[in-house]
Structure 1
Amino acid sequence: MENILIAGATGATGKRVIEILNNSESFNPLALIRKEEQRQQFEDMDVEAVMGDLEGDVSHTMKGIDKVIFAAGSGGGTSEEKTIAVDQEGAKKLIDAAKNSNVQKFVMLSAMAADEPSKNEDLKHYLEAKKEADDYLRASGLNYTIVRPGALTDDLGLAKVEVAEGSLGKRGEISRDDVAFLLVMSLADPLVKNMTFEAIEGQQSIKEALLDLTTKA
C-alpha cells in the first residue's frame, strides 16, 4: 500500500481526496495540516495527520511518503501576497521536499488557463502563481501529473468528464467530486505520467478519459 501525502487536506477538494483514498485498498492517505486543532477530524477517520505549514518548513513532511497530491490553494479571492505564498512558493517547497525524498510521483491540482494568466484579469495573480508552480514541477525531474479543472462546483460528481492534454480550447465546469477522482486516479503509473491536462464535465468515464490521454501521448 502506497502512502499518499495530501496538501490542502482540509479544503473542499482535499477532503474528498482523503475520503476516496481512505476507502482504497491501494493507498494510505496522510493529511498535511498546519494547526494542531485540525488533527482530530482526521483521527476520527483513522487518517494520520502530518504537521507542516506551506508558508513555513515542510522539509520534514516526506518521511515514508510514496506520492503527493497538492490540492492546496489560497483561492482566487485572496491577496496576491497570500496566493504567492501558498499556491506558488508553498508548492515549490513541497516539490523540493518531494524531490529530496525521492517521492515517486507528484500530482498537482492547478487551474484551467494557467498558461495564459493575462487573458483573465480577475484571476491573473492566481493563474500566474499556478503557472509558476506548474512550470517548477515540470522542471523538477519528478514524475508528475498536472490537473487543470474548469470552474469548480459542489454538485454531485457524475464521474463523466471531457479532458485534453494542454488546452481543451473551451471553458466549462466540473464538480469537486470528479476533480478528486481525477487526482486520485492520476496517482497510478504509468497513467497520465508527466502530462498536463484540462478537464470539465463531459460524457466519458474518468478511467476511460485518462487511459485515452495516456495512449495518445
Structure 2
Amino acid sequence: MRDDEKMPYDSPPPSKDVLVVGASGGVAGVASLLKRNIKSRLLVRDPEKAALLFGRQDEDNFKICKGDTRNPLDMDPVMFEGVTHVICCTGTTAFPSRRWDGDNSPEKVDWEGVRNLVLALPQKIQRLVLVSSVGVTKFNEMPWSIMNLFGVLKFKKMGEDFVRSSGLPFTIIRAGRLTDGPYTSYDLNTLLKATAGRGVHRLVVAEACIQALDIEFTQNQIYEINSVKKGDGPGSDCEKWKELFRSVK
C-alpha cells in the first residue's frame, strides 16, 4: 500500500477493549487502534512520556496505565477490568546496552515480565497476542546462537511456553529484525505513513497483531513474519491478512 492511499478500516465490535503492553513496540499498535476508533489502553512504565507522544485523546477511548511487568506488585487488577484483548510487545536489546540499565535484561523483560503479565490477566480475555522473535526454537544453532549469547531467544521461548500453557486463548507473532523504531513522532498520521523495508517494520508487526485479534483460526497458533521488500504486504486489508495467516497455518 502506498503512503497516500486511504487505509480501509472496518468498524470494530463495540465491546472490544484492547490493552497494549510495551512502549516502543506498543506505540504502533495503539496508533492503529485509535485510527480504527477501537477502545484501547497502553500499559507503560512512563505515562508522562506516553502522554506527550499521543497528545490529547478521547479519554473514553484511550487510557494510559502505569505499570512495570517486571514487578508483579505493579500488576494491579483494576487496570485489567473490562479488558477483552491484550497485545504484549515488550522487549529489550539482545546484547548488553544502556537499555539494560535498571534491571532491564531479557530475563527480566522477556521471561519474568511476560510471566507476571499472564498471571495477572483475567481468564475471560478473548485473545492474548504475544510478539516474540524468529529463531526462538533454534537458539542453540548458528547463526541464532550468536544472537542468543546473552539469552534473549531462550528467555523469549520461556515466555512463549508460559503463554501456551496458561489456558488463555493466544496468538504468537515471531517477528524478524524490527525496523523504524522506537517512535518519537507526536503525530499519529506520521506513525501510520511508514512502509516496510528490510527486516520487518514495527507497523507491519502491529497490524499482524491487530488482525489476529479477530481472526478465529489464528487462536492458539504461532506465526513468523518478515517483510520481503519495500511496499509489499497486505496493508490493513482483513481478507488479505486472512489469506496470509491461512497459507502458513
What is aligned with 2:127? 105
Following TM superposition, by how much is the alpha carbon of 1:35 offset from its aligned partner in structure 2, in angstroms? Answer: 3.0
- Does the Cα contact within 8 Å between 1:173 and 1:201 map onto a contact in 2? yes
Match 1:52 to one of 67, 76, 86: 67
Deviations 1:33-65 (A, max 9, x none): 223433523452443111211111214231111
Could you tell me which of 74, 77, 86 is aligned with 2:92? 74
Cα deviation code 1:49-87 (max 9, x no counterpart): 112111112142311110100011122234597211111
Distance 1:43 1:190 in 2: 34
- AA of the residue aligned to 2:45: R
1:183 match: 209
Distance 1:152 1:91 in 2: 19
Q: Quote the Cα distance in structure 2 between the aligned partners of 1:62 and 1:84.
A: 24
Number of the residue aligned with 1:134? 160
| 1: CA distance, partners of 2:242 / 2:210 | 11
Contact 1:62 1:101 (8 Å CA) reproduced: no
* 1:115 maps to 2:127: no
- 1:19 corresponds to: 31
Distance in 2 of aligned mates of 1:189 and 1:205: 15
Q: Which amino acid aligns with 2:163?
A: L
Q: Which has the higher strand share?
A: 1
CA–CA separation in structure 2 for the residues paired with 1:175 and 1:97 = 30
Structure 1 unmatched runs, 5+ = 161-171
The 3 A distance-change label for structure 1 pair 198 and 37 is same
Aligned residue in 1 for 2:115 = 92
Which moved further from structure 2: 176-185 or 114-123? 114-123
DSSP 3-state at the match of 1:146? strand
In 2, distance between residues paired with 1:108 and 1:143? 11
Q: Which residue of 2 aligns with 1:30?
A: 41
SS at match of 1:142: coil
Secondary structure in 2 matching 1:205: coil
Paired residues, what number?
201
Match of 1:154 in 2: 180
In percent, how many aligned pairs have the same letter?
22
Determine whether 1:4 maps to 2:18.
Answer: yes
User: Does structure 1 conserve the Cα–Cα contact (< 8 Å) formed by 2:208 and 2:241?
Assistant: no
- Provide the secondary structure at the position in 2 that maps to 1:148: strand
* TM-score normalized with structure 1 length: 0.82
Q: Answer yes or no: is the 8 Å Cα contact 1:193–1:214 preserved in 2.
A: no
From the CA coordinates, give the structure whose radius of gyration is larger: 2
Aligned counterparts of 2:203 and 2:221: Cα–Cα separation in 1: 21
Over the aligned positions, Cα root-mean-square deviation in angstroms equals: 2.4
Letter of the structure 2 residue corresponding to residue 4 of structure 1: V
Bigger RCO of structures 1 and 2 (CA < 8 A, at least 6 apart): 2
- 5 Å-filtered alignment, 1:169-180, equals 173-180=199-206
Gapped runs of 5+ residues in structure 2? 1-13, 182-193
